[in-house]
Amino acid sequence: MAYVLLRHRDIPNFDRLDVYKKNGGFAAWKKAVTKMEPAEVTNIVKDSGLRGRGGAGFPTGMKWSFIDKNNWPHYVVANADESEPGTFKDREIMESNPFQFLEGVALGSYAVGANVAYVYLRGEFWQLAAFLDQKIADMEKAGYLGDNLFGTEYSLKIYTHLGAGAYICGEETALLESLEGKRGQPRVRPPFPPAYGLYGKPTIINNVETFANVPMILANGADWYKSLGTMDSAGVKVFSLSGRVRKPGNYELPFGTTFRQLIYEHAGGVQEGRPVKAIMPAGASSSLIVVDDKVLDTPMDYATVRTLGADLGSASVIVLDDTVDIDWVINKTIHFFKHESCGKCTPCREGNYWMKHLTSRIHSGTGSKDDVDLLLNVAKQMQNKCLCALGEFSTMAVVTGIERFPQDFKKAVKA
Amino acid sequence: MSLENTHPKEVKQILSKYPPEHKRSAVMPLLYLAQREEGFITKSAMQDIAQMLEITETEVASIVGFYTLYHDQKAGKYRMQVCTDLPCALRGADEFLDNLCSNLGIKVGETTADGLVTLESVMCLAACDKAPMFQTQGPDGIKYHELMTVDRTMELIEALKQADREEK
Amino acid sequence: MSKQVTLTINDRQVTVPDGTLVADAAKMAGIDIPVFCHHPKLEPVGMCRMCLVEIGRPMLDRTSGQVVMENGQPKIQFMPKLETACTNRVSEGMVVMTVSDKAKDGQKGTVEFLLTSHPLDCPVCDKGGECPLQNLTMQFGPGKSRFIYDEKLHLEKQVPLGELIWLDRERCIQCARCIRFQDEVAGEAVLGFDDRGRNTQIVSLSDPGFDSVFSGNTTDICPVGALTTADFRFGARPWELDAEASICTQCPVGCNTTLNTRREARTNGDIVVKRVMPRQNEEVNEIWLCDKGRFAHHYTESRKRLTRPLTRKEGKLGRASWDAATKLAAENFVSAKKNFVVLASGRLANEDLFNLKSLADHAGGSAVLYSDMGGGELTQLVGVGAGTNIGKMGAGDAILVVASDLYEEAPIWWLRVKQAADRGATLIVANPRETKLDRFAKYTIRYAYGDEGKTINDFSRKSKIADEFAKAKNAIIFYGSEGLGLNGSSTLASACATLLKETDHVGRPNNGLIGVWQRANDQGAWEVGFRPVPDLEKALKGKAVYIAGADPVGDDPNLAKALKGAKFVAVQDILETATTEIADVVFPAQAFTEREGTYISGERRVQRFYAAVPPKGDSKPDFSITSQVAKQMGVILEGSSASVVFDILANSIDGMAELSYAKLAEVRGQWPIVGRGDLYYGGTTYENTQGLGVQLLPMAQAGGAVRIPKVRKEAALRPKEKELIAVPVNKLYDRGVTIHPAQLLNDRVGEAMVSLHPATAKKMGLTAGGRIKISFDGVSGEALLKTDDTISTGVALVPRSMGLAIREPVTARVLSAGKVK
Ligand SMILES: Cc1cc2nc3c(=O)[nH]c(=O)nc-3n(C[C@H](O)[C@H](O)[C@H](O)COP(=O)(O)O)c2cc1C
Ligand code: SF4
Ligand code: FES
């Protein structure tokens, strides 16, 4: 099957504007601006069943329709912060298929009436930002961005903005704060960005991959898109696969592909042919799934993965084989979350600090059974109480690790 | 010396991205610009940026403090930031860093005697399929180095050293 | 009235205004929800997670939009997660459970998390006894620590953020109240967080550190012992302190304060003021104080306090009895006949000024106000209407500030005006140079010194600004004395009053004229009939002078000369001054902390203060001293009871007949509710239980005719070649007697200085930071040179009370100090 998002894998030099254009690029863009009402664009995206690829899987068209039409100007922001451990799909899309992504941002902007869009990239994507700046300049030169596009009233500018090393800036309101030149700390929600976003104005924020889908949906229609994937989760997804597999990397597959197909058919199986012990389907924020044959044969879509006691999230699948100790895994994840907790709210700031002490002690073999119990208790005490989801994320591997892999913790602690 | 005098074109271009009444948004790109000079952000640079954006120096410092890619202390010319986060660690990143340390004769957080390289361990850099990997943060910005070995890393350091010598 | 909403909190029906936060609604109903980051004066942030509660809302039918009913009751849908009471706003039919098992579990969890990093050093903590964290720990905290003590974070414990405020990093719970206060309320974001996560710490990078005159307020709202004042820290335990209501004497705002006192070993068992705390008065200072008001009170404990009457014998001042001293003064005053002059300042209370004025009237002498600012009869006429509350001004209203640097002269007015602008009021700042208020102004008008009256008169001509001012729902003008002497400020006041009258902004609340006086009770002095005179030297020369609460000799060599030529000088004051040194008789007066009385603020609010500490030595209240002098002159004035003096005063002054001490002591409920047992809510600000004061009706509001006298402006100064015009400006921390003795503020006072435009300085070969010599009006002195490119080139700014005597604009010569022999 031809690629939908990773089309550069099919077509050489796809990051060149002429090549992109020759392969149908910007046709949707031109048609939208010259022949369609903004609401039509939103409706097609709504009908396609596209759900956000940033993690929460929120229906994209519905989000666009929430934009407050009584308060102007509107902004669009592409979330290119991509900092979840195990996630590296947005980077490939932007590096190799930049125009499709930018065309998606443009279409989103048109749909919600924004004249300015920002691409917020994590600071480490320094070179990528410069590359995108060039691509934006190419589009301006070709008349795809700028004032009075295609001779209409509509104007659009896209700017890149670099973060500077903070996972929390992937959270949409923290991202907005950061873009406003402040510390990247989440805001209280509601109000949500479509009502109160950048500079307090209605703003639509979507993930890079979400945007990259839009030109294809407009070109091929909502029904085409719906025909891919499952009832619950339409279309295709780029799965970032990492950990103990033979061929880690990005795999674009329709929703509904099983874990087994991903790991064994596409990625060549586990290193040294060992068995899969656990899967983290959503990066470090993930619950740990105990893997057996049934799990491996589970189709990956948002609803079905939930039946395994985990969220699919951004579909950054980390594979753990039987050589990996879960106490080590949670020590790693807590190290990450303690480092990335923004410090704004008490349970996350203090809880991660506390959990780090406990996981280090347990992993280093100086902990006791009481420490494991306390760790589980502290994690649960954090749950449902934090200001943003990061605090919740930090507890997922801890709670599911201790509850689902008790033997690893018996082994780890002193008698 | 103000950035407006030393880098007038860049400053203007940065400011043009944001609505004039929200010029505070320019603080992050301006900090990158300031950091390019010394490898860290000096107090006077913070003052300069604060003045330019009509915010307080404390507000600027508070932003420098929040984000890990801004530094307010001098370190090596290049910061070599090895990802040791879970996915990379599952593919040998910790061992790679250990070996690199012994090869360079420094510990994580330390700088080589010639002041060229500071070795750091960092969180996921969105290159989990290409571990071991690191980024270098230096005068020429941030660059990724993927699927690395200790040997290839030592070659890179040698090349950086060579370039540094030529510069001087 | 705004729309009301009814909800249920813990089975109680509560009706509150729509838009109220759940935490505040509970407070209104007397239900306490614990909070740390929430503060009723700050924007909600929901970051500490202390206020977790269960919130349910009536379920709506998806299709019909109607409330779903169940057993005749609306079906309530609870959120699966606990929610923060401090960020959720009330809605009709909402159900809140603050003490359910689930809610308590959440609150307990937060306290435990906070305590993991807290040093638990309560026994040595200044906040002990009034610490929200301590109190909430008693209520919600775990009995036993599950966190290993040895793993506790260790951080710096004594960090001076500036010379006034100290930070203990270990105790900080990252609620950001201090940062948010500085940013949102004070508009001076000089505090911030450094780093992130568990490493988050407070920093201040301003120069000087914590550069804000509102810094002390952060110690009141800090919910732990992280921020303390250099003045009070380690000074006493809150539970040892007594509290007495008072009024700040530092400026015409009239902030309500509470004096905390204690018997002190260090001062031989005397009872002393340990700290000055804000006392809530939402119409005056809300719950805030400026640092001058908080820290300058130490002047009342100065070693230079006068404690015994003195008389001059053989050229030397020596102890005398009260009887002998008052007799001597009385004899001289009587024999002076109409050459008897009372010179008093707005540092005195109304009762004092009233007795002094009565004495002058009885004896056929004159009563002169020691002040360079005019216009008080106009503030009586068209001052702000009774019921004025700047805190309620906002969109649609206008505020004009002219010839005043409010930040320096009346900080709490600055803060309230700035907040009115934040709420949408049109702020117009007219001043010859840039001031800190400009940043919040919609319009700034720059005029040349000398053009004040003209600038305001121009408002009657058509302009966008004038139009907006004229059309404003409500409008207030603050006028001051920057660059002006008596004549200039009188002219300006008259222009302002005319503008207000013509635009129909008089006689109503939130409309009218406010004088930014140089002293706390100047307005009161005008009310009892004191008036400044144009030529003070002439008024004093050869007279028998009775000076109260003023130091003309120390302030101005020309006045010193005039007084040396006086026939007889009696001085009554609390401190030794240059004037007491030349006096024939000296009467020791009591400080405001030692007696009771009333002041009238610039907004014409009559407010009571109370005795908090015993008087020093043999000192007496000013009004008593005057009564004793009067008695020796055969005039009977009330001298033992301040309240009786006030009753007589009230009866003899138009519009004050209704007033009495009892009336002034009345209180009403105020929002937010502060100062009760739950210090975590509003901070340590005191609740007002001793009087909100009464605002006087201006004549315009009382129905009197508004006739504004024209003031003839003096001819403009004509500087000769190489001369500049020296103009007076006002500074917050000056060298005046009511500040200078407060050691703590010395760093901020600095030395005498003069500001020039950089081009002027350059032309004269002077450099900023260097020393210069300035001479004018027969006076000369040295000063530090500063430059300010927002002033015009022909002027030199000279701060008042900073060592260079300046009362009005004068021509001056400036030279480099090096060039002067
Ligand atoms: C801690 C945290 C980190 C996140 N990081 C990212 C990220 O790196 N990229 C992203 O697109 N969304 C991220 N999200 C999700 C965003 O908040 C937001 O839901 C998303 O950008 C919306 O886009 P979508 O609807 O297209 O998924 C993160 C959320 C949280 C709570
Ligand atoms: S949950 Fe963590 S990251 Fe989110 S606001 Fe709280 S401290 Fe910040
Ligand atoms: S979160 Fe509500 S009081 Fe702090």
In CATH, what number is assigned to the domain containing residue A392? 1.20.1440.230
Both structure tokens of C46: 């929901």
**pLDDT for the residue C406:** 98
Query: Could you tell me which chains touch chain A, where touching means 3 or more CB pairs under 8 A?
Result: B, C
Task: Give the closest of B46, B57, B65 to C195, CB-based.
Answer: B65
Provide the domain limits for residue A201.
7-227
Cβ neighbours of residue C617 closer than 8 Å, sequence gap 6 or more? C305, C306, C307, C308, C588
Please provide the average confidence, as pLDDT, over all residues in chain C: 94
Residues of B with Cβ-Cβ distance to A248 under 8 angstroms: 91, 128-129
- Ligand number, closest to the Cα atom of A82: 1
Question: DSSP code of C4?
Answer: E
- Domain boundaries, given as residue ranges, for chain C: 4-99, 149-298, 310-374+524-657, 376-518, 724-820
Residues A217, A248, single domain; the answer is no
Cis peptide before A215 (omega within 30 of 0): no
Asked whether residue A2 is assigned to any structural domain, the reply reads: no
Look at the alpha carbons of A234, A235, A240, A243 in this order and tell me if their dihedral is positive or negative.
Answer: positive
Q: What is the DSSP letter of C229?
A: E
pTM as predicted: 0.96
Tell me, yes or no, whether A1 lies in a domain: no
Residues pairing with C816 in the sheet: C772
CATH classification of the domain holding A269: 3.10.20.600
Q: What is the mean pLDDT of residues C610-635?
A: 97
pLDDT of residue A415: 67
Positions of chain A with pLDDT lower than 50, given as ranges: none
Same domain, A41 and A155: yes
CB pairs under 8 A between A and B: 134
Residues of chain B with CATH 3.40.30.10: 78-167
Q: What angle, 0 to 180 degrees and rounded to 10, lies between the N-to-C axes of helices A89-96 and A98-112?
A: 100
Residue of A nearest to B141 (CA): A126
Q: What is the distance in A from the centroid of ligand 2 to the CA of A386?
A: 6
**Alpha-helix residue ranges (DSSP H) falling in C557-683:** 557-564, 578-582, 622-632, 642-652, 661-664, 679-682
Pair of tokens at residue A323: 């050589």
What residues in chain B have their Cβ under 8 A from chain C's Cβ atoms? Answer: 43, 46, 55-59, 61-62, 65-66
Secondary structure (3-state) at A405: coil
A124-A130-A131 Cα angle (round to 5)? 105
Work out the percent of chain C whose per-residue pLDDT is above 70: 99
* CATH ID of C310-374+524-657, from 3.40.50.10320, 3.90.660.20, 3.40.50.740, 3.40.50.2000: 3.40.50.740
Residue A90 lies in a domain: yes
pLDDT the model gives residue C741: 67
Distance from CA of C52 to the nearest CA of A (A): 8
Q: Is the CB of A168 under 6 A from ligand 1?
A: yes
Where is A372: in which H helix or E strand? helix A369-382
Domains C149-298 and C376-518 share a fold: no
pLDDT tens digit string along C298-317? 889 888 999 999 999 999 99
Do B128 and A86 count as a contact with CB atoms less than 8 A apart?
Answer: yes
CATH topology of domain C724-820: Barwin-like endoglucanases (2.40.40)
Estimate to the nearest angstrom the gap between the alpha carbon of A63 and the chain centroid. Answer: 16
Handedness of CA C751, C755, C759, C764 (dihedral sign): negative
Nearest of A236, A267, A240, A259 to residue A86 by alpha carbon? A240
Can you read off the two tokens belonging to residue C663?
């009336």
Q: How far is C203 from chain B (nearest CA, A)?
A: 7
Angle between helices B150-167 and B93-104 (to 10 degrees): 50
Residue of A88, A166, A284 lying closest to B67 (CB–CB): A166
Question: Which residues touch A251 (CB under 8 Å, ≥6 apart)?
Answer: A238, A239, A241, A262, A266, A267
Average pLDDT over residues C546-570: 95
**Rounded Cα–Cα distance for residues C176 and C156 (Å):** 18
**Contacts with C109 from chain A: Cβ below 8 Å:** 347, 381-382, 385
Question: Which of C21, C50, C82, C88 to mutate to test ligand 3, by most ligand atoms within 8 A of the CB atom?
Answer: C50
Within-domain flag for A222: yes
Distance A341 CA to ligand 2 centre (A): 6
Mean pLDDT of the C100-107 span: 95
Chain B within 8 Å of A121 (Cβ-Cβ)?
Answer: no
Question: What are the chain B neighbours of A339 within 8 Å (beta carbons)?
Answer: 123
First to last CA, chain B: 23
Does residue C132 carry a pLDDT above 50? yes
- pLDDT value for C541: 94
Tell me whether residues C206 and B66 touch, CB distance under 8 A. no
CA C617 to chain centroid, in Å, comes to: 29
Q: Which of C44, C48, C50 sits opposite A188 (nearest CB)?
A: C44
Domain(s) labelled CATH 1.10.10.1590 in chain B stretch across: 3-66
CB A161 to CB B29 under 8 A?
A: yes
Q: Which of A191, A245, C145, A164 is nearest to B31 (CA)?
A: A164
Question: Is the same domain home to A38 and A95?
Answer: yes
Q: What is the pLDDT of residue C306?
A: 97
Taking a C-beta distance cutoff of 8 angstroms, is the pair A199, A180 a contact? yes
According to DSSP, residue A192 is labeled: P
- Tens digits of per-residue pLDDT, A349-360? 999 999 999 999
Q: For residue B55, which residues of chain C lie inside 8 Å, CB to CB? A: 189
What value does the mean pLDDT take over residues C138-161? 87
Q: How many domains does chain A fold into?
A: 3
Instruction: Tell whether A185 and A244 lie within a shared domain.
Output: no
Q: Which pLDDT score is estimated for C820?
A: 42
Whether C545 shows a pLDDT value over 70: the answer reads yes
Give the DSSP H or E segment for C512: strand C512-515
CATH number attached to the domain at C376-518: 3.40.228.10
Instruction: Give the CA angle between residues C470, C473, C479 to the nearest 5°.
Output: 60
What residues in C contact B65, CB-CB < 8 Å? Answer: 193-196, 203
Does residue C206 belong to the interface with chain B, where contact is any CB pair within 8 Å?
yes
Instruction: Give the minimum alpha-carbon distance from B97 to chain A in angstroms, rounded to a whole number.
Output: 15
Residues C491-520 have a mean pLDDT of 97
The answer to whether the CB of C347 falls within 8 A of the CB of C739 is no
Identify the band that residue B51 occupies on the pLDDT scale cut at 50, 70 and 90: very high
Looking at domain B78-167, its CATH class is: alpha beta
Domain membership of residue A171 (yes or no) is yes
Q: Which CATH class is domain C149-298?
A: alpha beta
Instruction: Find, in chain C, the residue whose alpha carbon is nearest to that of B62.
Output: C194
Note the CATH number of domain C4-99: 3.10.20.740
Query: Cα(C109) to centroid of ligand 2, in Å?
Result: 16
In angstroms, the Cα distances linking C711 to C161, C390, C449, C488, C619 are: 49, 29, 18, 9, 42
Ligand 3 atom showing the smallest separation from residue C51 Cα: 2
| Rounded CA separation A143/A120 (Å) | 23
Chain B residue closest in CA terms to A85: B124
Specify the amino acid at residue C361. Answer: D
HSE-up of residue C793 (Cα within 13 Å, Cβ side): 8
Name the pLDDT band for C568 (thresholds 50, 70, 90). very high
What is the architecture, at CATH level 2, of domain B3-66? Orthogonal Bundle (1.10)
Ligand 2 and A390: CB distance under 6 A: yes
- All residues of chain C having their beta carbon less than 8 Å from the beta carbon of residue B62 are 192-194, 203
Measured between beta carbons, the chain C residues lying within 8 angstroms of B57 are 205-207
DSSP B5: H
**A246 with A223, same domain?**
no
Amino acid C140: pLDDT: 80
Cβ-based burial of C91 (10 A; exposed 0-12, middle 13-18, buried ≥19): middle
Nearest CA in chain A to B126: A88
User: For residue A60, which atom of ligand 1 is closest to its CA?
Assistant: 25
Q: Same domain for A169 and A223?
A: yes
- pLDDT (average), residues C635-660: 96
C21, C48, C136: residue to mutate for ligand 3 pocket, most atoms within 8 A of CB: C48
> Is C428 strand, coil or helix?
strand
A183 lines ligand 2 (CB under 6 A): no
How far is it, in rounded angstroms, from Cα B68 to Cα B64? 8
Q: Cβ contact (<8 Å) for A333 and B124?
A: no
Q: What does the block give as tokens for A115?
A: 């004249």
The last residue of one of the domains, among A321, A350, A383, is: A321
Q: Subunits that touch chain C (at least 3 Cβ pairs < 8 angstroms)?
A: A, B
Which ligand places an atom closest to the C-alpha of C132?
3
Interval C475-500 mean pLDDT:
96
Of C82, C174, C195, the CB nearest to A384: C82
Across the range C227-248, mean pLDDT stands at 92
Asked if A68 contacts A202 with a C-beta cutoff of 8 angstroms, the reply is yes
Q: Which two tokens stand for residue C710?
A: 């024209």
Atom of ligand 1 nearest to the CA of A122: 8
Backbone φ, ψ for residue C754 (5° rounding): -135, 135
Q: Are residues A368 and A288 in the same domain?
A: no
Strand order in the sheet with C227-229: C159-160, C165-167, C227-229
- Among candidate residues A275, A290, A321, the one where a domain is terminated: A321
On chain B, the residues whose CB falls within 8 A of the CB of A117 are: none
Looking at the structure, do residues A93 and A108 belong to the same domain, yes or no?
A: yes
* Contact between chains at C205 and B65 (C-beta distance less than 8 A): no
pLDDT, tens digit, 9 for 90 and up, residues B120-151: 999 999 999 999 999 999 999 999 999 999 99
Q: Collapsing DSSP states into helix, strand and coil, what is residue A123?
A: coil
Q: Round to whole Å and give the CA distance between B2 and C696.
A: 54
Q: Is A169 in the pocket of ligand 2 (CB under 6 A)?
A: no
Predicted confidence band of residue C779 (pLDDT cuts 50, 70, 90):
confident
**Interchain contact, B68 vs A126, CB within 8 Å:** no
Residues C675, C220: contact at Cβ < 8 Å? Answer: no
In which residue are the tokens 């530092």 written? C250
pLDDT above 90 covers a percentage of chain C that reads: 81
Residues A288 and A352 in one domain: no
CA atoms within 13 Å, Cβ hemisphere of C244: 19
The whole-angstrom distance between A382's CA and the closest CA on chain C is 8
- Separation of CA A207 and ligand 1 centre (Å): 7
Q: Give the helix, strand, coil percentages of chain C, each rounded to 5.
A: 30, 25, 45
Local confidence band at C1 (pLDDT 50, 70, 90 cut-offs): low
